[in-house]
Structure 1
Amino acid sequence: MSLYRVIEIFTSIQGEGNVIGTPSNFIRLATCNLRCLWCDTKYSWEKGELMSITDILSQLNHKIKVTTITGGEPLLQNITPLAKELKNINHTIIVETNGTIKPSEELRKIIDVFSVSPKLSNSGHSLKYSFKEDDWATYYKFVITNPEKDLKELSDFVASQRIDPKKVIIQPDGNREDYISALKELSDFVIKLNLPFRVLPQLHRIISYR
């Protein structure tokens, strides 16, 4: 029997990326292989509660047929059995991951959306990625804390990884108290620098769902 370390299960509105605004169940799995400076879910670094697939499914709102598996870093655990069960009950599945762990071919056939968030140096990490050899992301999300510095690093990253700019979404640091100002500042820099990336908010920061 597959057991998962779970931090929380809840239902809300998807706040980020291509799926922004979509009602979704959320399964937040425990632990992460990174410790980003601006992480807004540091509580997910904990060990969590051991739960079976049956226990997890019993806590979902099955009137909503979208489920997001997030973390922490969900790919630290073998989510294939869980994903199979979600598919068996006709759920659309979104996986939010930092991109440091490649999903198996089997899992790729099951998951509908891979929301991948590679980390720039503003995270406190210097990581190597290989998306140019294997572009498995549905789209990429990047946190921008200092537009003048980070957007140059992002542009170099996208070019070096041969990522389609249309797949790139950028958002300001969600921890900033002046979030709307940060969003405008980032938007202004994108226009000033003639960049092709999409600027999107974290919707939950604005409507304060969670």
Structure 2
Amino acid sequence: MKYWIIEIFTSIQGEGEVIGTPSNFVRLAGCHMRCIWCDTKYSWHKYDGKELSIQEIISKINVSVKTTTITGGEPLLQDIIPLAEELKKLEQRIVVETSGTIKPNQKLMELVDVFSVSPKLSNAGYRLKYNFKDDDWATYYKFVIVNPKTDIPEVIKFVEENRIDHRKVLLQPDGRRNDYVNALKELADSVMEFGVQFRVLPQLHRIISYR
């Protein structure tokens, strides 16, 4: 079994509920979306990656770090079950970062510890319909907020339509902002104004450079 891989590295998790956690990162090549604010456009095309076997991937991670994040691109475009099985043999906690447009099967759900799901708002350039109300398989939902005044109501609508627990919703500012700390404050102020129970978190790598 081989995978198209963009990069493998070890760093500190920069976002989501696992923020601040040391983690291996396996970034798979290929994505079926083209989000306007994407910060990993270099992973969009499958053949920009390198084809590696599972053992080649394992040889490049730090097995003493007990979390591995499988990301992309869109990692669920490739069958990551065999890779996840090998990582579990190494007692790895597995985090999968996905757009939520591809539902994992039951076997993968049993292998993965954390599904970090990032549904796309219209600020990504899409008008997508999601259905999580019948199967809420996400560990948490992470939204990129460009304009809090218009984006937060869109998140509220998503949460209501999909019957999502507010405590599973994370908001983070647009990483393209040069005044990132101000963007974070604006987002926090807006969450308080709307009176919602969503969590506001930064992308840690926007504040500190660590890799």
TM-score range, shorter chain: over 0.9
In the alignment, what sits opposite 1:27? 26
RMSD between superposed Cα atoms in Å? 0.7
List structure 1 segments (4+ residues) > 6 angstroms apart after TM superposition: none
Query: In 2, Cα distance between the equivalents of 1:63 and 1:81?
Result: 21
Match of 2:76 in 1: 75
Give secondary structure in 1 for the equivalent of 2:11: strand
Partner Cα distance (2:193, 2:77) in 1: 39
In the other structure, the counterpart of 2:39 is 40
Map 1:51-130 → 2, pairs under 5 A: 51-130=52-131
Q: How many residues align?
A: 209
Query: After superposition, where does 1:122-201 map in structure 2 within 5 Å?
Result: 122-201=123-202
1:209 deviates by 2.2
SS in 2 for 1:55: helix
Deviation at residue 86 of structure 1 after TM alignment: 0.2
Secondary structure in 2 aligned to 1:93? strand
Give the whole-Å Cα distance in 2 for the aligned partners of 1:158 and 1:86: 33
Q: Which residue of 2 aligns with 1:205?
A: 206
Q: Over residues 33-91 of structure 1, what are the superposed CA-to-partner deviations in whole Å (9 max), with x where a residue is unaligned? A: 10000000000113210000000000001110110000000000000000000001111
Other structure's SS at 1:17 match: coil
Q: CA deviation at 1:195?
A: 1.3
Alpha-carbon distance, 1:128 to partner = 1.2
2:11 partner letter? S
**TM-score if structure 2 supplies the norm length?**
0.98
Write the letter of the residue equivalent to 1:196.
Q
- Give the Cα separation in 2 of the matches to 1:176 and 1:208: 16
- Which runs of no fewer than 5 residues in structure 1 stay unpaired? none
1:147-195 deviation digits (Å, cap 9, x = unpaired): 0000111101100110110000000001111100000000011111111
CA distance in 1 between partners of 2:153 and 2:138 (Å) = 22
Aligned residue for 2:142, secondary structure, equals: strand
Cα distance in structure 2, aligned partners of 1:104 and 1:174? 31
Q: Which amino acid aligns with 1:65?
A: K
Query: Which letter does structure 2 place at the counterpart of 1:35?
Result: R
Please tell me whether residue 10 in structure 1 is matched to residue 9 in structure 2: yes
